[in-house]
Each structure stands twice: as structure tokens, then as C-alpha cells.
């Protein structure tokens, strides 16, 4: 019976990062993956969606966009697997069962390890009574398998998945309707972002309903809670994801979506780093807080957020809110992308507590804000930074010193 220092169950972002760190430290590692290395993000999430989003906006045909996304996914998946094996890991492509705190069973073989790390990820959330069938009612996993772009599509949910696919299908020429139970689109984000997204969707002729859910679906007819009946060619259920976490013996650690802070790949990797340093470097286990994690919704324009939201502030008089429209930035005009704003929330003494950006390259801009927050830079410190001109980045400084 072969023994290992570490057994990692699940090779999504969390499991992969932990395995890499363990291998770099000279530990003997065995990994278990029931399907594909890379997890949801690489295979049916972030990466293929961003590829298709780009191609849809660029006028590429659906078949070609889907093929390119699959090629990218396979390339990175292969690279991950080769890298792990080259570093000395053993990979078992079988579903694994945790027997006890030191034993994993896979393919009728027991594997013994000093530490077992569970990173089993998440699955598409379903609506009770309206479970996805892969034909008419589609999950975010199913959507990559359709052969043609539907003439019309109803999207249930307006989080990152729902909004990105609304943009994708709109660019491919579909008639798109979005249904959201919450009072605003993108309910997890700052209220100003939600309102701007409503404006963006209206401009793109994407119909949406808020404070409204689906009452029933019969014979491919969708009845909304407001009584309206819609007959789309496809329905995409985009209400988020549900953690997949088996019963764990004491002493077995779960990370990533199996023990979520936020269900984001970079958050999962941060959890892996924190746990590894705690277990093998003697560090205290770092608390990863949602307000410290940036989130991004892709498309044109991008949306990025970090930190506190305006609606979370109880005493607005204790904060300053800066809101700078992109149309004041020369670079935005040069790129013909003036839709959006840079919103920064600070305490009265200048400590940056949050940022919410609707802009081209918002995904990059939010990282600059994150670095400032991590470095405890205040507004006066940002004033001493020389931003290149013309750039979108200088909008951060302009927002604070207009």
C-alpha cells in the first residue's frame, strides 16, 4: 500500500494550487479527479465563456467560437496535467471516497496520506420543480453543447453567469429576456452598478424583469410571476452554483467551492495558499474576507467590484463617495467606450474601502484599487502617483481629485 504526504481530491483551482505548493515543497502528492483537471472555471465556466464572449462580440460564428473555446480549454487542461506529473504527482482519474482522515478509496484501491485536502467544487444550482433537462431547460454546463444559437432565450438569474450569457446571445442575434427575483439586476453588486446595467441592457434591447420569478413551465411556455407568458426557444437557468462537499471525517480540510467564501477561482486559490501555509509553514490561518476579493463580470463594458457597497453603509456621513464618469476621460473617447464610471468609497480620513467600476478594462483597474487597499494607501497617497496619460487608469486619480 503506497503512502503519500498529501492526497488532493478535486483538481479545480483550489485543489490544483494546493497540489502545486505541496509539490514545490518536496511533498509526495496523489491527486484524484473524477472528470477533468481545471474544474468548473477552466472547463465549463470562466475560460470558455470569456472566449465565446470575445468571439460573439467580434462577429465569429457560433460553431467556430465554440470550437475555439474547446481548443483553449483542452490546451490548458493538458498543460495542467503534464505539469503535475512532471513535478512528481500521481493523478487518479476516478471518483474518490474519503474513508477516514488518512484514507482515500478510488477504483477499489486505498491510498494512504498524512493529509487529505478536499476541493470537490460546486455544481449548477437548480430550481425545484424546474430541473434542467439539457434540451429546453439548460444549465450553464449544458449551454456549451448546443449546436446552434437559439432564436430566443430566457435567462433566469442576473448574476455574472446570466449577464455574460445575455450579452453573448444578444451579440449572436438572439432575442434575450432576463428574469431576476431580486429588485435589481446584479443584486450582489453596488446599487449604482445594478442601475447602470439596466441602462446598458435597455440600450442593447435586452428585455428584463426584476422582482419577478418563474411561476411554471409547461409545453415550453414560461409563465412569469407577473402573469406574462413567454415562449423562448431555450431557457438558461443561471441562478448560481451549489457547493459539492461530502461528509468529512475530522482532520480533513475542505477548500474552494467545497468550503466557499466566494465561489470564484481566485478566491479558491487564495484559500489553498492560506491553508498550505498554515499546515506546512506554521502560519496562522488567514481569514479570507469577501470584501477583500475582487469580482468581475465580463463583456463590453466590463464590471468590477471590491470592498463595501454603498447600500451596505449605515452612516453615509462617515464616508466619502467619489463617482467619475468615463466620458470625462480622453482614453475612453479614443477607445469609443465612454459608457461607465469609476466609483470609489473612502472613509473621511481617506482610507479606501471599496470600488465599483463599469468600464473597458475594469478587470485591470480594480486590481490597482486592490493593491492600494492592501497597501493601506490613502487618497493623499494616490495623489502622489504619476499615472500615464492617456490611460483609463488615470481615471482612478481623476475620480479622487477632480
From 291, 309, 325, give the residue that closes a domain: 291
Long-range contacts of 369-374 (CB under 8 A, 24+ apart): 369/306, 369/307, 369/344, 369/396, 370/292, 370/294, 370/306, 373/292, 373/306, 373/307, 374/292
- Name the average pLDDT for the chain: 97
Banded pLDDT at 402 (limits 50, 70, 90): confident
Are 261 and 112 members of one domain? yes
In total, how many domains does the chain have?
Answer: 3
| Residue 228 forms part of a structural domain | yes
Co-location of 35 and 117 in the same domain: yes
Of 237, 253, 269, which residue constitutes the final position of a domain? 237
Determine the average pLDDT of the residues in 45-57: 96
| Whether residue 268 sits in one domain with residue 210 | no
The answer to whether residue 210 sits within a structural domain is: yes
- Give yes or no: residues 287 and 313 share one domain: no
**CATH code, 178:** 3.50.50.60
Provide the b/e sequence for 57-76 (b: ≥16 CB within 10 Å).
eeebebeebbebbeeebeee
232 and 246 share one domain: no
Residue 233 lies in a domain: yes
11 and 157 co-located in one domain: no
- Does the pLDDT at position 2 exceed 90? no
pTM of the model: 0.95
Residue 55 in this model has a pLDDT that exceeds 90: yes
Q: Is the pLDDT of residue 131 over 90?
A: yes
- Do residues 7 and 120 share a domain? yes
Predicted local confidence at residue 312, as pLDDT? 94
Please tell me the total number of residues recorded for the chain in this structure.
402
**Residue 74, pLDDT score:** 97
d(CA 351, CA 278): 29
Q: Do 197 and 246 fall within a single domain?
A: no
Residue with cell 482519474: 93
10 Å Cβ neighbour count for 383? 12
Domain membership flag for residue 132: no
Q: 178-216 burial by CB neighbour count: b if 16+ within 10 A, else e? A: bbbbbebbbebbbbbbbebbbebbeeeebebbbebbbee
Q: pLDDT-based confidence at 118, cuts 50/70/90?
A: very high
Kindly state the average pLDDT of the residues 3-12.
98
* pLDDT for res 348: 98
Quote the percentage of the chain above a pLDDT of 90: 98
Q: Compute the average pLDDT of residues 171-178.
A: 98
Classify residue 167 as exposed, middle or buried by CB count within 10 Å of its CB (0-12, 13-18, 19+): buried
Q: 27 and 42 share a domain?
A: yes
User: Radius of gyration of the chain from Cα atoms?
Assistant: 23
CATH number at residue 380: 3.30.390.30
Q: Is the pLDDT of residue 130 over 80?
A: yes
The predicted structure's pLDDT at residue 209:
98
How far apart are the C-alpha atoms of 299 and 396, rounded to whole Å? 21
Same domain, yes or no: 119 and 257: yes
At residue 359 the predicted structure's pLDDT band, cuts being 50, 70 and 90, is very high
Residue 330 has pLDDT above 90, yes or no: yes
Residue 344 lies in a domain: yes
Region 366-382: what's the mean pLDDT?
97
Verify that 68 and 86 share a domain, yes or no: yes
For the chain, give the percent of residues with pLDDT over 70: 100
Task: Indicate if the pLDDT at residue 1 is higher than 80.
Answer: no
pLDDT of residue 49: 97
User: 141-163: per-residue pLDDT in tens?
Assistant: 999 999 999 999 999 999 999 99
Residues 280 and 371 in one domain: no
The average pLDDT across 55-77 equals 97
Alpha carbons 238 and 231: distance in angstroms, whole number: 18
Reading the block at residue 270, the C-alpha cell is 487564495
Instruction: Give the residue numbers spanning the domain of 168.
Output: 137-237
Amino acid at each position: 500500500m503506497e503512502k503519500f504526504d498529501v492526497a488532493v481530491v478535486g483538481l479545480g483551482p483550489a485543489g490544483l494550487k494546493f497540489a502545486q505548493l505541496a509539490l514545490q515543497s518536496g511533498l509526495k502528492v496523489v491527486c484524484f479527479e473524477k472528470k477533468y483537471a481545471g474544474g468548473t472555471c477552466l472547463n465549463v465556466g470562466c475560460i470558455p465563456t470569456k472566449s465565446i464572449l470575445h468571439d460573439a462580440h467580434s462577429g465569429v460564428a457560433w460553431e467556430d467560437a465554440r470550437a475555439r473555446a474547446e481548443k483553449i480549454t483542452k490546451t490548458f487542461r493538458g498543460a495542467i496535467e503534464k505539469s503535475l506529473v512532471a513535478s512528481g504527482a500521481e493523478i487518479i482519474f476516478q471518483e474518490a471516497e474519503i474513508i477516514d482522515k488518512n484514507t482515500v478509496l478510488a477504483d477499489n484501491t486505498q491510498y494512504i496520506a498524512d493529509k487529505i485536502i478536499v476541493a470537490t467544487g460546486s455544481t449548477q444550482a437548480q430550481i425545484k420543480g424546474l430541473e434542467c433537462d439539457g434540451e429546453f431547460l439548460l444549465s450553464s454546463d449544458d449551454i456549451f453543447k448546443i449546436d446552434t444559437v437559439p432564436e430566443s432565450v430566457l435567462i433566469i438569474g442576473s448574476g455574472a453567469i446570466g449577464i455574460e450569457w445575455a450579452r453573448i446571445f444578444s451579440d449572436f442575434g438572439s432575442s434575450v429576456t432576463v428574469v431576476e427575483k431580486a429588485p435589481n439586476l446584479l443584486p450582489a453588486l453596488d446599487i449604482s452598478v445594478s442601475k447602470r446595467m439596466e441602462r446598458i441592457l435597455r440600450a442593447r434591447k435586452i428585455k428584463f424583469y426584476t422582482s419577478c420569478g418563474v411561476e411554471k413551465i409547461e409545453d415550453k411556455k414560461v409563465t412569469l410571476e407577473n402573469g406574462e407568458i413567454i415562449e423562448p426557444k431555450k431557457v438558461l437557468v443561471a441562478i448560481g452554483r451549489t457547493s459539492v462537499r461530502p461528509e468529512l471525517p475530522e482532520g480533513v480540510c475542505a477548500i474552494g467551492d467545497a468550503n466557499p467564501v466566494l465561489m470564484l477561482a481566485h478566491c479558491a486559490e487564495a484559500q489553498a495558499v492560506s491553508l498550505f501555509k498554515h499546515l506546512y509553514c506554521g502560519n496562522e490561518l488567514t481569514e479570507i474576507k469577501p470584501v477583500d476579493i475582487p469580482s468581475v463580470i465580463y463583456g463590453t463594458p466590463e464590471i468590477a467590484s471590491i470592498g463595501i457597497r454603498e447600500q451596505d453603509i449605515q452612516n453615509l456621513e462617515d464616508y466619502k463617495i467619489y463617482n467619475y464618469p468615463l466620458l470625462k476621460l480622453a482614453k475612453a473617447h479614443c477607445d469609443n467606450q465612454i459608457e461607465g464610471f469609476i466609483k470609489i468609497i473612502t472613509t473621511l480620513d481617506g482610507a479606501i474601502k471599496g470600488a465599483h467600476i463599469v468600464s473597458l478594462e475594469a478587470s485591470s483597474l480594480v486590481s490597482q484599487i486592490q493593491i492600494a487597499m492592501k497597501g493601506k494607501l490613502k487618497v493623499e497617497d494616490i495623489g502622489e502617483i504619476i499615472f500615464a496619460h492617456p490611460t483609463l487608469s488615470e481615471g482612478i486619480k481623476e475620480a479622487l481629485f477632480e
